Amino acid sequence: MLYERDYHLGLTETEEQQYEEITGRKFWEKRVSGFGRVNNFMAYPKAARMCKSLFPNNYLDVAELRDVERLEHANEEFLSLLDNTECTERSILNFIREKEYYHIIGSIIWGLSINIGNHGAYLFPEFQLGSSYKADYLLLGKSSGGFEFIFVELESPYGNIVIQHPWCSKSFLYQSN
């Protein structure tokens, strides 16, 4: 769960009223085809956008990307953290979680020009892979072709990025950008 609020619990009365004013129908009513109000997803209350998604507590809300001032401030804070030579992987993970700056991880989709997520993006922190491995994040993007999965493993910007595997005599270089 990414957020303090559990969106599986649904909307408050106020949010339901706001949704009804925008759409002209109750939150759980199906939209009837034909004429009516235009679908204005970005105008819905945040909780409605979250609850309408497949994974409400892990949805990366694209409407938050419109708050440029917040994003600029978040990015400045993040760069300051990375400039600190005491910065560790755990401090990066804690920073993102505590401040709810999930756009930092979500930006992998757009920063790498990966053509996914145009029908929704979801983020799962500390995603367990079997009993031996845990990815720092699973980034899930939905597009017309279905779901795409990106496993994200963060490292300290000042740590060793070369590791020796016990099953191989060669070292592998992990690049973090």
The model carries a pTM of 0.81
Model confidence at 174: pLDDT above 60: no
Model confidence at 39: pLDDT above 90: no
**Cβ within 8 Å of residue 92, ≥6 positions away:** 81, 82, 154, 156
Q: Which of 62-66, 78-82, 114-118, 162-166 has the lowest mean pLDDT?
A: 162-166
Please tell me which residue, 9 or 171, carries the higher pLDDT value. Answer: 9
- Predicted confidence at residue 162, as pLDDT, reads 63
Q: Output 7-10 pairs: Cβ under 8 A, ≥24 positions apart.
A: 7/47, 7/50, 7/51, 7/56, 7/57, 7/59, 8/56, 8/57, 10/47, 10/51
In whole angstroms, how far apart are CA 5 and each of 56, 58, 67, 121, 128? 10, 11, 20, 18, 23
**Residue linked to tokens 């990015």:** 75
Per-residue model confidence as pLDDT tens digits over 123-168: 999 999 999 999 999 999 988 888 999 999 998 888 776 666 666 5
Distance CA 103, CA 77 (A): 13
In whole angstroms, how far apart are CA 63 and each of 11, 12, 104, 134, 151? 18, 20, 15, 29, 24
Per-residue model confidence as pLDDT tens digits over 52-63: 999 999 999 988
